[in-house]
Amino acid sequence: MVKVLITGANSFIGANFRKFSKYKDVDEISLRENLPENIDFSRYDVVLHLAAIVHKSNKTPEYEYFKINRDLCLLVAEQAKKEGVKQFVFLSTCKVYGDFVSGPGLRNENSGCFPVDAYGKSKYEAEIGLNKLEDSNFKVSIIRTPLVYGEGVKANMLNIIRLVDTFPVLPLGKIYNRKNFTYSENLVGFIDRIIELRSTGIFIAMDENSISTTELVKYLSKYLGKKNVLFKLPGIFIRIGNFFVPRIFDRLFGSLEFDNNKTKEILDYEPPFSTEEGIKRMVLSYKKFR
């Protein structure tokens, strides 16, 4: 029986893994309360490393991202390797690609990485360090994801849900961008398959198809039982918004798509839930606790 240790307690993805994974012999440990050198890794076959600073905050200095997302990750991996762990699964992010990639086609597992913020840079540097630790006895699996949503979601997606739940009229109509998302149960399926096959390398875990912001809002409205009126924001306001708050407007109006055909081929895995079904399940969970 495979025994898994999740490093990073009380996380959204960790909770979903413990609930939906086929692997049931799973422990979770806080790295706030435990130093890597004091953890008994010898009891585990796989470490699923989820501990990270994720959400950008002006109150968080940049060095903290590198301290937690890179340095702590590598300390955990070194200790796990020393104590005989067979596989280290690292949850990275598609932010390692940066905001733009030159050249044609969608970003894939082999695309160059040009991260632009501390979060993306720290995750990418952790990836580089982990690859140097890999050998025949210590397998390293790196999973990059776009925005993950699902039961118990927080941050950006939760803010959008609350927006749709609160305001009957929204300026989010006729947006024709394309974005990939990752439903949490689909992500768990990718992780399970990587552990099962002991697959190594770079993987992109995401839902099968991209959707637009307008489609996202319509799905949320549908399953929240709302009748939101959506209208198109005039171009001048979009240009002004892009100038003053580019990060917010890029999330709403920009496109960000990926190609994970290599991942699906290696793992022989197709995510079982469509994005609409994932949104439905997420909203039903949200409605229970709002």
- Averages of pLDDT over each 10 residues, the chain, 290 residues: 95 96 97 95 98 78 94 98 98 90 76 93 98 98 97 92 96 95 98 98 97 97 97 89 81 89 97 98 91
pTM for the structure as a whole: 0.95
**What is the predicted pLDDT for the residue at 99?**
77
Q: Write out the H or E segment, with its range, that includes residue 216.
A: helix 213-224
122 neighbors 66 (Cβ within 8 angstroms): yes
**What is the predicted pLDDT for the residue at 56?**
61
Rounded CA-CA distance 111/93 in Å is 14
**Burial label, 17 (beta-carbon count in 10 A; 0-12, 13-18, 19+):** buried
Domains and CATH numbers, the chain: 4-149+181-207+258-272 (3.40.50.720)
Q: Which residue has the tokens 């997302």?
A: 69
